[in-house]
C-alpha cells in the first residue's frame, strides 16, 4: 500500500447517515441499551451511557465535521464518531446482529439503533448539557465546507504566508472541518490545482474556484449516498455509490477523464494523493515550464523527461513517488 489509504467515512458519508437516521430517530424514546464491547477509541463507560440515554427521547440528530450528535430531551447529547470502520444503522425487528456489533439501543417502535465497528476506532460518548461546545473533540474545529464560513478573501488572508501544501491544509480539520482524503483529491482535480501547491501561492481567485468545486463534489456525494470502497453503509445498512463518479481517487495509472494522461499517486502527510500531472498545475498553464523571457515568449515549452527529471520534479513537491 502506497500511503495510509484505508477509506474511512468522510463528511458526505456521515451526512448521509445523519439524514437517514433523522427520520427514524427523531421523537423516538430509547428504552434500553445493550453494551457488548467497551474497548473503543475512548473506553466506553456502560453505566454512564445507560444513565444518560435510557428513557430519553431523541430531539434530533446533527453533524459537526465527521461527528454525529444525538440531541436528547431535555438537553443532553450523545457524541458519535465512526472512526475507520464504524457503522451506525437502524435494525428492524427480526434483523440478526452483524459482526462486531458493540452497542444496541432499543427504541420504543420496536426498532433498534446499532453501532458496529470492526477495528474499534469509533466512539460513543455521552455529553452533558453545556459541555458540548467546549468538548475537546469539537473545540477548535474549522468552518463547515457546506456552510457559509468559507470565504475566498478570508482564506487567502489566513494562508498568504504559509508554505504548507494545499492538500495537507484541506485535510486539517482545524482549517476546514471534515473534508477528508477522497474529496480533497476530487475537489483539487476539478479546480485544476496541484495538490503540492503552497498555500502562499493560492490567490483569491484560486480559492474561489476551489471552494466552489469542494462544495459541488461534497453535495454530489451526499446526493449519491456517499462513497463505499470498503466498510461504509448508510442508516439502512446499504452501500453508497458515489465511487462511480470518482475522477482521480484510487485510479492510479488509469487515464485522466479529461486529457487521458495516467493518474499519478504520491504520498503527502502519510496519505495517498491522486492527481493528473497534466491538468493540475502549480502555476497558470501559460507559465509552466517556459523558458526565460518576457511574457508572451513563443519558445516551446520545456517538458521533463526520463526518470531523473521525474524524481527532481517530485522532490520539489516534497513528496515521494509511488514506484
Write out the catalytic residue numbers: 9-10, 66, 271
Q: Residue 16 class from Cβ within 10 Å (0-12 exposed, 13-18 middle, 19+ buried)?
A: buried
Q: 67-71: long-range contacts (C-beta < 8 A, 24 or more apart)?
A: 67/14, 67/137, 67/138, 68/14, 68/17, 68/18, 68/21, 69/132, 70/25
Residue 137's CB: how many other CB atoms inside 10 A? 15
Output the DSSP codes for 192-249.
TB-TT-BGGG--HHHHHHHHHHHHHHHHHHHHTT---SSS---TTS----GGGG-SST
Which residues lie across from 198 on neighbouring strands? 165
List the grid coordinates of 134.
467546549
The residue written with cell numbers 514506484 in the block is 323
Amino acid at each position: 500500500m502506497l500511503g495510509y489509504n484505508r477509506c474511512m467515512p468522510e463528511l458526505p458519508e456521515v451526512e448521509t447517515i445523519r439524514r437517514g437516521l433523522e427520520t427514524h430517530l427523531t421523537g423516538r424514546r430509547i428504552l434500553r441499551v445493550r453494551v457488548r464491547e467497551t474497548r473503543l477509541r475512548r473506553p466506553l463507560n456502560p453505566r454512564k451511557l445507560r444513565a444518560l440515554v435510557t428513557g430519553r427521547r431523541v430531539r434530533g440528530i446533527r453533524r459537526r465535521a465527521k461527528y454525529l450528535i444525538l440531541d436528547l430531551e431535555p438537553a443532553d447529547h450523545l457524541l458519535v464518531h465512526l472512526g475507520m470502520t464504524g457503522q451506525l444503522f437502524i435494525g428492524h425487528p427480526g434483523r440478526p446482529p452483524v459482526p462486531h456489533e458493540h452497542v444496541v439501543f432499543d427504541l420504543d417502535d420496536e426498532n433498534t439503533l446499532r453501532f458496529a465497528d470492526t477495528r474499534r476506532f469509533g466512539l460513543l460518548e455521552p455529553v452533558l448539557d453545556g459541555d458540548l461546545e467546549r468538548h475537546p473533540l469539537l473545540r477548535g474545529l474549522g468552518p463547515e465546507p457546506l456552510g457559509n464560513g468559507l470565504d475566498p478573501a478570508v482564506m487567502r488572508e489566513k494562508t498568504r504566508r504559509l508554505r504548507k501544501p494545499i492538500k495537507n491544509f484541506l485535510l486539517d480539520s482545524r482549517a476546514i472541518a471534515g473534508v477528508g482524503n477522497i474529496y480533497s483529491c476530487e475537489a483539487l482535480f476539478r479546480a485544476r490545482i496541484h495538490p503540492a501547491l503552497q498555500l502562499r501561492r493560492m490567490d483569491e481567485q484560486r480559492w474561489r474556484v476551489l471552494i466552489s468545486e469542494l462544495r459541488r463534489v461534497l453535495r454530489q456525494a451526499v446526493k449519491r449516498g456517499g462513497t463505499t470502497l470498503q466498510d461504509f453503509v448508510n442508516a439502512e445498512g446499504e452501500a453508497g455509490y458515489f465511487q462511480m463518479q470518482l475522477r482521480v481517487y484510487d485510479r492510479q495509472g488509469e487515464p485522466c477523464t479529461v486529457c487521458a494522461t495516467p493518474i499519478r499517486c504520491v504520498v503527502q502527510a502519510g496519505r495517498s494523493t491522486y492527481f493528473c500531472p497534466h491538468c493540475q498545475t502549480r502555476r497558470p498553464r501559460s507559465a509552466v515550464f517556459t523558458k526565460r523571457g518576457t511574457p508572451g515568449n513563443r519558445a516551446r515549452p520545456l517538458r521533463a523527461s526520463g526518470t531523473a527529471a521525474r524524481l527532481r520534479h517530485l522532490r520539489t513537491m516534497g513528496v515521494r513517488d509511488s514506484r
